[in-house]
Chains A and B, each alone.
Chain A
Amino acid sequence: MPAGLTDLLHDVTVLHRFVEFMDDYCREQERSQAYADASGFFFKYVENLAAGIKQELPRQIERASKFPNRLPILRSNIWTLKNYLRLLHALVKPAADAHTLTIPAPLVDLASDQLQAVEAMKKSTIVVLLGSELMYFREFSARVRDAI
């Protein structure tokens, strides 16, 4: 087996584990909470993406076996997919945690409608995240309450 192919197999294995983890996490969230809003679509998107990547990985290995000269490029492709999952991973937990918030749904819907009025954002929806930045808004609302 060429050395490059071993490296690719290693990358594929790591990516496959990562995909499995993300897939399981999203399915678990859907089982434990009822997400009827954009968060539900987001988790479904990650699940569909995970299924697509799992189908793609064997094809990448097959191509690498047939065309060893493509190995460096195929490894870059794997890294790109892995980084895309890393990016989604940074969003998945804050999206799952947001179910603990009392979300002003009409306000979010209004913002979503305004967003969709922009030509390039027609199919966009707003996923509410619970991150460290939101804590400031909590503090702010508490200050407003105290001031009243």
Chain B
Amino acid sequence: MRIPLVLGQAKGEELHRNGCERNPVMTPMDLQDRAQYLSLALFAQQMISALMEYADEGKSQRLNTSLRQALNSLLLAKDPSASASRKVIAFSSYEQIRTLEEVWSNKDRVNAIRMMRAILRAPNSPKSKEVANDLIAMFSGLQNQALWNFEQPKPVSPRVMQRLCQLA
């Protein structure tokens, strides 16, 4: 039964010998952490599409649901115990929260929440369309960073891993 553990060690040694941290070819084993970044990029894309339909064409069929989902996810991102018990579609994993923190400061997050609430409150206001454009720019930044991290995933440092284990 030691075989899977031996597999992990052997793979690590091989990578160390080759002098590179990560295999450029995507393998099924490599996908688990990378998929989290892509999931975040897809979430951002869904938000951007709904906001563009609203800002450019005045369509708001998808807007309400998308904004509420994003709002819930952002609000619960700071409270891991709450997000574990509720269904959130984004910011529910280490990789996603790290990406969020790389792109949006705390102030940005508060602003994004305020902007989403403003659009939900008055979707027919012309000012809401301007706000939607600001949100599109913010989610575009998030999508680009998630795509970048998908291509260049950074390994979790031992110190952070220790902290995560203590939190679990």
Contacts and interface: CB of A to CB of B under 8 A. Distances in A.
A63 B143 CA distance: 19
Instruction: Say what secondary structure dominates the interface of chain A.
Output: helix
A120 B86 CA distance: 9
Interface string B71-107: 0000000000000000100000000000000000000
A34 B15 CA distance: 38
Contacts of A139: 3
B7 A133 contact: yes
Instruction: Say what secondary structure dominates the interface of chain B.
Output: helix
A90 B30 CA distance: 10
Contact of B48 (A77, A84, A129): A77
A67 B51 CA distance: 14
A10 interface: no
A90 B147 contact: no
A48 interface: no
Nearest to B85: A119
A47 B136 CA distance: 30
B159 to A, nearest CB: 28
A27 B38 CA distance: 25
A65 interface: no
Interface in A71-89: 72-73, 76-77, 79-81, 83-84, 86-87
A118 to B, nearest CB: 12
Nearest to A77: B45
Given A67-B56, A84-B42, A140-B3, A131 B29 contact: yes
Contact of A133 (B29, B41, B45): B29
A139 B10 CA distance: 15
A100 B26 CA distance: 22
Contacts of A4: none
